[in-house]
A = this chain, B = another copy of it.
């Protein structure tokens, strides 16, 4: 693997999930692979799980790790070509990406959607800037439109809780007070499109995601109908895609409850707002897989880094 930008960069998802589970059983088995190699983790946004799990994955592989909060510790970056840089930005992505490439063997980047301008977000300025100008492999630790390490961790979690038969998986929108990006939902959908499963998305009208991502997946606007006979329910808020970045409703009727969940397993990428997105009774039950999902972030990152180290 050269870069890891999208869940679609994984040629064989099932095989990769099995390899990740093998790593989980023996995390330090490939500690020699990172010998005398360095990964640089660049954060343009906050992070708990991604910060710790990606570092942990790198430690397992024996990599040296350099973590940098780019926004607060470095320089404001310019992304446009040909600009006269006489305003706020001190450094151009061209130099930043080339320079980081001198010091690291792999660079992993987190840069959220701004949710102001769809075109800007879909251009993935930070990630695609590094991709264009860096001379080392680039790993997506959540960009404007995708969070593939989360989706891979979700695939690992689904596999670990598989009952052997084809499951029904539902992605259910949930209310949230703030406008959130589409990245987690997008990557989860792209991952599910490669699974042998019945997959349904449910959300209020107006919350349709990018049709280039959802393609021909069944979308149901009645949550109750969508949830019938579900085996796994992935709950996630996102802001409107059509009326880009807007919060159209916070209708509490869409919150996931124990009753709605039935016997299904509950999934969420975290952080989660309790009793807004999902009620306590779900999170505190055995049906919640969200801590497993977080744990699997380590092995998702680790199998990707391993594939980059040994292409």
B38:A51 contact, CB within 8 angstroms:
no
Q: Which residues of B contact A89 (CB under 8 A)?
A: 273
Task: Identify whether the interface residues of A are mostly helix, strand, loop, or mixed.
Answer: mixed
Q: What's the minimum C-beta distance from A66 to chain B, rounded to whole angstroms?
A: 6
A59:B64 contact, CB within 8 angstroms:
yes
Q: What's the minimum C-beta distance from A99 to chain B, rounded to whole angstroms?
A: 5
Q: What's the minimum C-beta distance from A282 to chain B, rounded to whole angstroms?
A: 12
Interface string of A72-97 (1 = CB under 8 A from B): 11110010011111110111101110
A48 and chain B: residue at smallest CB distance = B74
Number of interface residues of A (CB under 8 A): 64
A275:B84 contact, CB within 8 angstroms:
yes
A49:B85 contact, CB within 8 angstroms:
no
Complex Cα gap A52–B100 (Å): 8
- Other than the given A56-B66, A99-B294, 5 more pairs (CB < 8 A) read A48-B73, A83-B274, A85-B275, A94-B284, A102-B295
Q: List 20 A-B contacts (CB under 8 A).
A: A31-B36, A38-B59, A40-B52, A48-B75, A48-B91, A49-B99, A56-B104, A69-B73, A81-B280, A82-B280, A87-B177, A91-B270, A91-B272, A95-B270, A95-B272, A99-B291, A102-B291, A102-B295, A102-B298, A103-B298
Please list the 6 inter-chain residue pairs (A to B) with the smallest Cβ-Cβ separation, ordered nearest first. Answer: A91-B271, A85-B273, A102-B295, A52-B103, A84-B275, A48-B74
